[in-house]
Amino acid sequence: MSVPVKNTLLFLVVFGLIAATGVTSSWNVALGIVNMGLISAIMALGVNMQWGYAGLFNVGVMGFVALGGLGSVIVAMPPVGEAWAAGGLRVLLGLALGVASIAAAVLAWTRMAPGRARAAALIAILVVGFIIFRRVFDGGVAEVEAINPASTGYLGGLGLPVLFSWPVGGLLAAGAAWFVGKTALGLRSDYLAIATLGIAEIIIAVLKNEDWLSRGVKNVIGIPRPVPYEIDLQNSPAFVDRMTAWGFDPVTASSITVKLAYSGLFLAVLLALLWLAQAALASPWGRMMRAIRDNEVAAEAMGKDVTRRHLQVFILGSAICGIAGAMMTTLDGQLTPGTYQPLRFTFLIWVMVIVGGSGNNFGAILGGFLIWYLWVQAEPFGQILVGAITSGMPEGSWLKAHLLDSAAHMRLLTMGVILLLVLRFSPRGLIPER
């Protein structure tokens, strides 16, 4: 069997599995899997750029995804005028002062001659800067958060169409990636992993606690949509007439139409990114990246700036994760910082890349769909399996109740076992790099 035929078959099998869900349970569920599968595929594409092209180990995917989600709040939510009037400018001024004092500290460090004077100046600038920053910033935050805390209590966004938030989410993620990459790249490979692990936790902590920015754990709900609402479709006579004429139930048809509209948007983004990624991989830049990955010393000897190229690809991959994060928040219509879990948003994406085939963009996409499908289905399958195992046990036994309760945790175990098996027996994944 030739390679393209095999790959097409693999994709057909995965879509067949999803379609089977559509037939056996409902098309709504199946389309839900497809939509999240598309988003997962984009995240996997981003991680694959970092790992597959360059061999960079990023375990902070969750943070970049969450920053993308913040992007859609900042872009799409309507601004809260009262909050801006109360303390918005003060908050911004505080942040600007904070950035300015860090910039001054960096300037002092680079411009002054090494010695006691430099250290003293650095500490003085940072301490004074911090005190001024807190003085200005804390007051502004209190003023903003006091405005109607039950429904707003934050600054809101720019009120622009939500589609703009996708590139903005990418830019936010790229900024964070620049900061992490600048410090941790060029050192041991493990250091990047630990630094990204840290930045992800911090981004989530910021989203959870800075109520003026994203309402924290109170969640931002009702982010505007790029597609029509189900209820509007159901109220539109033209839509109801057409669907009844085609023999569909208008209520079901409306939610399927909305999901299909999302799928169309996501597919367009995925195809565009895939095209860009493939073109990059085939270009001299892509060859250079693989050369660096395969032998850093040789590439450096040939005059390639390894650290700079690593920084570049790290920022690009993180930006793609940010775009996917903004898309996911758009799909959910809400930003819920409490739901970001590293096992779900960082490590699951890694399973997708490794299982699909690291270094191959099609592999990453296949992995995205397949692993998302398994992640969704592992729970019902686990329930059935545990149900079968425990059916022989006496009713009301302690072990039976415990096993039934724990079936939900089968997912992590399944994912871990899949990852270990693939790494051991097929380390190049389902669609290996050519």
Partner 1 sequence: MDLLNALVALANFVIIPALSYGSQLALGALGVTLIYGILRFSNFAHGDTMAFGTMMTILVTWKLQDMGVSLGPLPTALLALPLGIAGTALLLIGTDSAVYRFYRRQKAAPVILVIVSMGVMFVMNGIVRFIIGVDDQVFADGARFVVSARGFREMTGLSEGLVLRTSTVITVATAIVTVAALFWFLNRTRTGKSMRAFSDNEDLALLSGIDPERVVRVTWILVAALATIAGVLYGLDKSFKPFTYFQLLLPIFASAIVGGLGSPVGAIAGGFVIAFSEVTVTYAFKKVLGYALPDGLEPSGLVQLLSTDYKFAVSFAILIIVLLFKPTGLFRGKSV
- Tokens (6 digits) for 76: 């799409």
Angle made by CA atoms 430, 431, 434, in degrees to the nearest 5: 140
Binding to partner 1 (CB under 8 A) within 20-79 occurs at 55, 57, 59
Question: At its nearest, how many Å lie between partner 1 and the CB of residue 428?
Answer: 12
Give the span between the Cα atoms of 72 and 160, in whole angstroms.
10
Q: Binding segment for partner 1 among 187-195, 254-262, 264-272, 306-314 (CB under 8 A)? A: 187-195
CB-nearer residue toward partner 1: 189 or 235: 189
How far, CA to CA in Å, does 21 sit from each of 79, 380, 386? 41, 12, 21
Question: At its nearest, how many Å lie between partner 1 and the CB of residue 34?
Answer: 25
Q: Are 250 and 239 in contact (CB under 8 A)?
A: yes
Q: Binding segment for partner 1 among 142-150, 253-261, 389-397, 416-424 (CB under 8 A)? A: 416-424
CB-nearer residue toward partner 1: 3 or 401: 401
CB-nearer residue toward partner 1: 266 or 375: 375
Give the span between the Cα atoms of 83 and 71, in whole angstroms.
19
**Given candidates 89, 151, 417, 426, which one binds partner 1 under the rule CB under 8 A?**
417
Within 10 angstroms of residue 202's Cβ, the number of other Cβ atoms is 12
Question: At its nearest, how many Å lie between partner 1 and the CB of residue 96?
Answer: 20
Q: Which of 197, 146, 200, 168 is nearest to 69 (CA)?
A: 168
Q: Are 233 and 239 in contact (CB under 8 A)?
A: yes
In the shown chain, the binding pattern of residues 251 to 290 toward partner 1, with x for contact by CB under 8 A and - for none, equals ----------------------------------------
**Given candidates 25, 26, 189, 295, which one binds partner 1 under the rule CB under 8 A?**
189
CB-nearer residue toward partner 1: 309 or 411: 411
- Tokens (6 digits) for 229: 């609402």
CB-nearer residue toward partner 1: 161 or 427: 427
How far, CA to CA in Å, does 293 sit from each of 38, 57, 192, 362, 426? 28, 12, 15, 19, 20
Q: Binding segment for partner 1 among 13-21, 97-105, 201-209, 366-374 (CB under 8 A)? A: 201-209
**Helix, strand and coil percent figures for the chain, each rounded to 5:** 80, 0, 20
Within 10 angstroms of residue 405's Cβ, the number of other Cβ atoms is 10
Binding to partner 1 (CB under 8 A) within 92-151 occurs at 130
H/E run at residue 419: helix 410-425
Q: Which of 350, 401, 357 is nearest to 375 (CA)?
A: 350
Question: At its nearest, how many Å lie between partner 1 and the CB of residue 101?
Answer: 15
Q: Binding segment for partner 1 among 88-96, 228-236, 250-258, 405-413 (CB under 8 A)? A: 405-413
Q: With CB under 8 A as the rule, give the number of residues binding partner 1.
A: 44
**Given candidates 202, 268, 282, 385, which one binds partner 1 under the rule CB under 8 A?**
202
Within 10 angstroms of residue 116's Cβ, the number of other Cβ atoms is 7
Question: At its nearest, how many Å lie between partner 1 and the CB of residue 209?
Answer: 5
**Given candidates 20, 123, 205, 268, which one binds partner 1 under the rule CB under 8 A?**
205
340 lies in the site for partner 1, by CB under 8 A: no
> Residues 62, 68, 72, 74: what is their CA dihedral angle, to the nearest 10 degrees?
100
Amino acid type, 321: C
174 lies in the site for partner 1, by CB under 8 A: no
The alpha helices in 85-188, defined as continuous H runs, are 89-111, 116-146, 165-184
Place of tokens 């023999």: 247
**Given candidates 141, 177, 199, 269, which one binds partner 1 under the rule CB under 8 A?**
199
Using CB under 8 A, list all residues that contact partner 1: 55, 57, 59, 130, 183-184, 187-191, 193-195, 197-199, 201-202, 205, 208-209, 342-343, 347, 350-351, 354, 405-406, 409-417, 419-420, 423-424, 427
